[in-house]
Amino acid sequence: MNKSTLYTISLISLCWLVALSGVAYAQQRPIFSQYMFNGLVLNPAYAGNQKQWVTSLVHRDQWVNVEGAPKTQSLITHTAFKNRPMGLGLLVSRDQIGIHDDYSIYGSYAYKIKLLVGTLSLGLQGGFNYTQSNFEKLRRTSPFDPVLTGTQTRFSPNFGTGAFYSNSTTYAGISVPYLLNNEVYNAADVLSEARERRYYFLTGGHVFTLNPSIKLKPSTLIRYQEGQPVNMDLNANAFFQDVINLGVSYRSGDSMIALLEIILNRSFSFGYTYDHTISRIGNYTDGTHEFMLSYRLGIGDSKCHSYF
């Protein structure tokens, strides 16, 4: 093992020690339903996993008919390198929630270690969020409130880490994408202890070949946010002729999800999910819609579509 490899592993190990040592207070990050095909939104170690250059555009309209509900647009791109054990990724996102517009840019680096069976990837990411809050949009009881007036902005740098293992049929990952507990509200004349909460993600899945035309992939995501109960997604996807992908998911205490992905040609695919809300907010919303358009370009002799 050369010095560069040892340095990379040591740096990522240090990040994990930081991740496991802190306590935080909170703000929620955007949630996606097609994360199983955009693993970079959960884990920086996923960068370059598919041995392709992959670019996805995602639009998520959450809790339709609820005023101020989240709307998210994201650009997710990452690539592998033919003769180098590394991957690079970029995640650019805009998240609108009520009077708040949150813009984020994060770059990712993953180092690949070949094992006897499969590949272990260790990843780092770094970037920032820029949040703009327009309090003039509020319907206030008092127009002279000195706190809830004007526009507030907040710049929040952050970094994270993760590990991802995969072979031809199985994958598993663990990650803490955002390690720093930044302040949620930073007005000079307001005393606030509200801070972002740290997320921990554990993912895994396996592809079963039922016959040459049909493959089945059960998978799961365990999500823990500090100060909150553990949350779990249970997923099942069926691939038909490697052209149609149909899936269902259960997000504990929140929603039932239906997924459709169509492989349009060698390079392009289209995905759609509908989240039927089963929590109390389901009485006021028609659910959540998420759309995805992906472009893939093979590197070397790699195929242009992957099951994860």
Question: Tell me, what's the pLDDT at 144?
Answer: 61
Q: Which domains does the chain have, with CATH numbers?
A: 3-298 (2.40.160.40)
Closest CA to 37 of 270, 201, 276, 264: 270
Q: Which residue has the higher pLDDT, 280 or 196?
A: 280
- The 10 Å Cβ neighbour count of residue 271 is 21
What does the buried/exposed string (b/e) look like for 31-49 if buried means 16 or more CB atoms within 10 Å of the residue's CB? bbbbbbbbbbbbbbbbbbb
Q: Which residue has the higher pLDDT, 285 or 227?
A: 285
> Across residues 104-116, what is the average pLDDT?
96
Question: Tell me, what's the pLDDT at 304?
Answer: 53
> Across residues 266-278, what is the average pLDDT?
94
> Across residues 244-271, what is the average pLDDT?
94
pLDDT at 88 over 80: yes
Q: How far is CA 179 from CA 156, 166, 197, in A?
A: 12, 24, 9
